[in-house]
Chain A
């Protein structure tokens, strides 16, 4: 930690004093990271509010609160806001904060573009959310926007423009991350010495660059079909509605890995720290992420088993999808092996990480079942699928983000959060999220389709249990907000530079809170300081 002494310990040393200069015109990776994280937390609560409307309407049979069309707007907006507004920006925010600190770079490679890619997002979401207040309402055709249904909406142009903006933001963010990782690593930080989190983001960034333009193409074709008389997806004009689904899911499947690979990276940082033992099978972990990323490009039609594909296509996509279980299994086994023989403590980040491994694996199990095409003829578009993707996205992606927040908050804020309240948040969340989503497996298997505002009385009990879990989970996240606000502004407990006993990696060699500028002089890399141990053997 000799080089840490070369840094100024003053808070925000070198940060512009004026608010506008500091936040609106920021080119600093830490400030932009903070902006991303605040934005994503805001969107998490807005998307969560939509989910509360959904669960309230589904509390019991009969329509009590909202019209079916508004219900469809809620399911559509909940998905768009959570995917593009909460999960993705949270990971980009974490990358902004942590990637330069982890590879020993002074900042991101392209700081002005970094500013632009963040500041596009609020405008994109204001535009998207404003459609809810317009005559004709917001998008109600599902987040996948399948034509012809999505073209019946009045808000198509707004939604598509918003999606274009989000796509541009993501692509710029991805280019920035790749440029930073490939060009700005400190001398001695070889690719195979990088933390797994950095690896996971390098691969994710390539996925983003590959598929966001595909989404842009798909929605642009929707736009021209709606307003300029083209017939890409209009059967009556010689087009093909299924073509849209192929293009959409060619984006959509890599997209779901965009939302989970950085989570794998986070968990691979946290479990070794609190096990006080290096990550098991570092190279296998990196290779597994790369294999999953590659496979994600050749499995898209497993979202379409029920559209009536030729049998050969169903078989190909089924086999390819099942293959993903192998590298994913390797990751889970390696996390367990990292814990085995360790010296474990269970602070909040570790609790969230352990919950991630168990609950994400449950989501993986239902994923394996869904991959079996004949069984998918039953599961498809039911609550079984809803349960599956919420296990991987809420207890997977969102839990990993919360784990990361608790893990790095001391580094960001310079203060320790309240461990007691962090644990209360954890236990409240982990119990309620299972009350919320586990019964949805039963509902789907019993025959309840997804995206319906009302249901038969046979589905009543599990829906009520699920709704209670939903309100409880939603309320639990207010604890999270409280813990974060308390930590940043009110906590008296100062964080050490190395905030966790077992923490390794460059980010723990700089002061807490991390000063405005770090690594003006590239750090010297000591192999035994790396989170995954010495790989030179």
Chain B
């Protein structure tokens, strides 16, 4: 069987596995959600996760099954008499070799996933993400080969969540909803807006301590470390609002610096970007107007 054949058959197996485990592609955590989201990006570890899961389930059934048979059959109370044998080279070779073969298959699949994850080439857009205690900053660096002028903003926990999460606030977290979803601790004042069907490269750094940028629907998290620029990419296939959280302990408000990615159609994104750039220009002009007369006054 060729490696492509293996991959196809494993993918088919994984697909069948997923079907039996529920098929919803969760964009945000659902109440009583049991499994990982399939995600909305071109890259997803979901199939690998399911293959790993079912390998474990099958081995578990065999091993625990054998154990329970042994516990039933070889009870002293049923008159079992202990046998004398203490080893079997043949058996020991079998249960060393079979796991090795399973591991080789898993390693091959996982290596494929790593290679595609590491490949940030051919991206059409760059966004710089900076983690701060306890908010995120997003700076748009370039889009379709052209530099973006001064579009960047802080993104922090929105106010109603912030009020509710205070110790003994007596406010009900269940009441914080957007479009029927509970967004307690998962909503921000200003989301990261990105286009769909665009390969986006993120450059991720830490401003003070280490944070980790994680949106489950994008399939990965990566640490935001002071002094180190990490890179990762996504290509979102469906418009929507995708929520995540900081995943690396970063101090007292680590649990209160959510991430919201709003993926919109390309045209809508371009319009949004133009507006932002215009606003930045207006602000800049206003600033120059304010600072320009100053020397005259002093003079």
Measured CB to CB, the residues of A under 8 A from B are: 61-69, 72, 140-142, 146, 148-149, 152, 235-236, 239-242, 275-284, 306-308, 311, 314-315, 318-319, 322-323, 325-326, 329-330, 332-334, 336-337, 339-346, 354, 357-358, 361-362, 365-366, 368-369, 372-375, 377-378, 380-382, 442, 445-462, 502, 532-533
Contact = CB atoms under 8 A, between A and B. Distances in A.
Given A277-B83, A377-B221, A148 B209 contact: yes
B249 A284 contact: no
A66 B255 CA distance: 14
Given A365-B60, A452-B245, A276 B82 contact: yes
A523 to B, nearest CB: 23
B103 interface: yes
Chain A, interface SS category: helix
B241 interface: no
Interface of B: 26, 28-37, 45, 48-49, 52-53, 55-56, 59-60, 63-64, 66-67, 70-71, 74-77, 80-88, 91-92, 95-96, 99-100, 103, 106-107, 109-111, 113-115, 117-118, 164-169, 171-174, 182-186, 204, 208-210, 212, 214, 216, 219-223, 225-228, 230-231, 244-256
Contacts of A337: 88, 91
28 contacts: A61-B184, A63-B166, A63-B167, A146-B249, A148-B209, A148-B210, A149-B250, A152-B209, A277-B82, A281-B86, A283-B87, A284-B87, A308-B204, A308-B223, A308-B225, A308-B230, A326-B96, A339-B71, A362-B60, A369-B52, A372-B106, A374-B45, A378-B220, A442-B33, A450-B249, A451-B254, A456-B185, A458-B182
Contacts of A235: 225-228
Contacts of B60: 361-362, 365
B74 A378 contact: no
B73 to A, nearest CB: 8
Q: Which of B53, B92, B254 has most chain A Cβ within 10 Å?
A: B254
Given A365-B60, A375-B52, A345 B227 contact: no
Contacts of B111: 315, 318
Contacts of B167: 63-67
B186 A456 contact: yes
Contacts of B37: 447
Contacts of A456: 29, 173, 182-186
Interface pairs A-B: 6 shortest CB-CB: A235-B227, A452-B255, A374-B113, A308-B230, A377-B220, A446-B33
A532 B87 CA distance: 11
Nearest to A455: B185
A378 B223 contact: no
A177 B234 CA distance: 53
A149 B185 contact: no
Nearest to B221: A306
Given A378-B36, A378-B45, A63 B67 contact: no
Contacts of A502: 82
Contact of B28 (A148, A323, A344, A458): A458
A307 B252 contact: no
Contacts of A282: 86-87
Contact of B87 (A281, A329, A449): A281
A284 to B, nearest CB: 6
Given A369-B52, A459-B29, 9 more contacts: A149-B209, A275-B82, A325-B99, A358-B67, A361-B60, A365-B59, A449-B247, A451-B255, A458-B29
A391 B250 CA distance: 26
A315 B109 CA distance: 12
A33 to B, nearest CB: 30
B247 A276 contact: no
B63 A336 contact: yes
Contact of A345 (B59, B76, B254): B76
Q: Which of B28, B92, B186 has most chain A Cβ within 10 Å?
A: B92
Nearest to A284: B92
Nearest to A60: B173
Contacts of B117: 374, 377
Contacts of A277: 82-84
A146 B210 contact: yes
A366 B251 CA distance: 28
Nearest to A281: B87
Given A326-B103, A375-B49, A381 B71 contact: no
B77 A345 contact: yes
A68 B253 contact: yes
A249 B77 CA distance: 48
A318 B114 contact: yes
A63 B70 contact: no
Contacts of A241: 210, 225-228
A461 B100 CA distance: 39
Nearest to A314: B114
Nearest to B33: A446
A72 B226 contact: no
Nearest to A374: B113
B30 A344 contact: no
A308 B114 contact: no
Given A242-B225, A308-B228, A452-B255, A372 B95 contact: no
Q: Which of B66, B86, B117, B231 has most chain A Cβ within 10 Å?
A: B86
Contact of B86 (A382, A449, A532): A532
A451 B176 CA distance: 22
Contacts of B113: 372-375
Given A330-B92, A377-B220, A452 B80 contact: no
B160 to A, nearest CB: 13
Nearest to B69: A340
Contacts of B245: 447, 449, 452
B184 A358 contact: no
A446 B184 contact: no
B222 A306 contact: yes
Given A330-B92, A446-B33, A63 B168 contact: yes
Contacts of A447: 28-29, 33, 37, 216, 244-245
A65 B168 CA distance: 8
B59 A454 contact: no
A306 B87 contact: no
A342 B227 contact: no
A104 B109 CA distance: 51
B32 A148 contact: no
A314 B45 CA distance: 15
